[in-house]
Amino acid sequence: KSQSDILNLLKSDKNEVHEGYRIVAGIVLSRTPIILRDPHPFEREYYLYQQRLEHIHAPPFPVDFYFKKGSVAEKKWREKKEREKADALLAFGSRKTKNKTSFEKIDEEETIDSSDVSSDEEEIKIANRITSADLINDVKSLDRALQRTLYLIVKKPRETHSWQFPQGGVEKTETLVQAANRELEEECGNCMDVWFVGRRPIGYYKYDYPKCFVKENIEYKGAKVFFMAAHIFAGQVKVDNKEIIDFAWVTKQEIKNYVHTEYYEAVKDMLSEH
């Protein structure tokens, strides 16, 4: 019995404690947006409007400067101009036309997943902005919601308050960042290219343990969590089923569906809308 007491004393010496609260480093690991946001409908309309105004009031285009007289390119250009001229007269002044103008057609073509193919040009492959992960709503995938910031949340093997950001105790020999790095590796594996944003914590959350909970035979009142910001550039989480049993990459709005409301309220201000 005395041996286990000594071991417990040694363990207690290792962890940082303040006023009976365990000092814990939490990790807000984010996957930043990979693609630009979809334009707001008003933005689209406004840019179309401005484009039309410019086209109508621009000085004449010096065709003879850009195209050699009698060349094929010049011929194609003149044909294109004639089509645009006809459409412009219809479009300007009446916003809602059933027949879409060539401008709008151009914009649509840009958003469609198409490759520019001509006889002498190479085929340019463009990946789709909406991935398969989006369609099946795979929360473990890092290819989902490419326009949004995704945050990592992990599931602990307990019944209440199971979903949270990865976190773990700070030891007396290390700093916050070092603790955060170590805990992230312990809980989520080391197969991720992670970069911590500086050494300052970005958020603070204090909570009391329920009375029945005692960690490593030492009585703590609760925990004080300091969240550290980090970015992931490659790799994926590895579940070891010891500390965590599940994980998800979710947007700020989706976190509400996993995490306890009290936790969400404490944590939401740290997170990005986009």
Partner 1 sequence: MSNHFSYRSALSTSIRGLLARTVKKSKPKSEIPGSQNANITDTRYQIIKRILYETPKPELPKMTEQDLERHETIDRAWKLFLRNQQEERENELAAKYRKLNEANLELEKLGPRLFNSAQIGNKIMMFPRQMKIPTETPPLNGWNYDYKPLSSDPTKNSKPLPSDPIKDSEPLPSNPIKDFEPLPSDPNKVSS
Give the residues lining the site for partner 1 (CB under 8 A): 16, 18, 23, 32-36, 40, 42-43, 46, 49, 53, 56-60, 62, 64-65, 93, 125-129, 131, 141-143, 146-147, 170, 175-178, 181, 190-196, 198-204, 206, 224, 226-227, 231, 233-236, 269-270, 272-273
Query: Toward partner 1, which CB reaches closer, 163 or 226?
Result: 226
Q: ∠ CA 97-100-102 to the nearest 5 degrees? A: 135
Q: State how far Cα 239 lies from the chain centre.
A: 21
Q: How far is the CB of 2 from partner 1 (least distance, A)?
A: 31
Residue matched to tokens 């363990």: 11
Nearer to partner 1, 184 or 244 (CB): 184
Q: Least distance to partner 1 from the beta carbon of 229, Å?
A: 9
How far is it, in rounded angstroms, from Cα 124 to Cα 128? 13
Shortest gap between Cβ of 260 and partner 1 (angstroms)? 18
A 10 A CB-CB count for 28 gives: 22
Smallest gap, in angstroms, from Cβ of residue 22 to partner 1?
Answer: 12
Beta carbon of residue 158, minimum distance to partner 1 (angstroms, whole number): 26
Distance separating alpha carbons of residues 231 and 143, to the nearest angstrom: 15
Q: Which residues contact 63 (CB under 8 A, 6 or more apart)?
A: 74, 77, 78
Minimum distance of partner 1 from residue 224's CB (angstroms): 7
Using the minimum distance from each CB to partner 1, give the nearer residue, 162 or 182: 182
Closer to partner 1 by CB, 162 or 185: give it: 185
By beta-carbon proximity to partner 1, the closer residue of 18 and 211 is 18
Q: Do residues 206 and 49 touch, judged by C-beta distance below 8 A?
A: no
Contacts of 45 (CB under 8 A, 6+ apart): 95
Pure H helices in 41-137 = 41-57, 63-66, 72-91, 102-111, 132-136
Q: Closer to partner 1 at the Cβ: 5 or 208?
A: 208
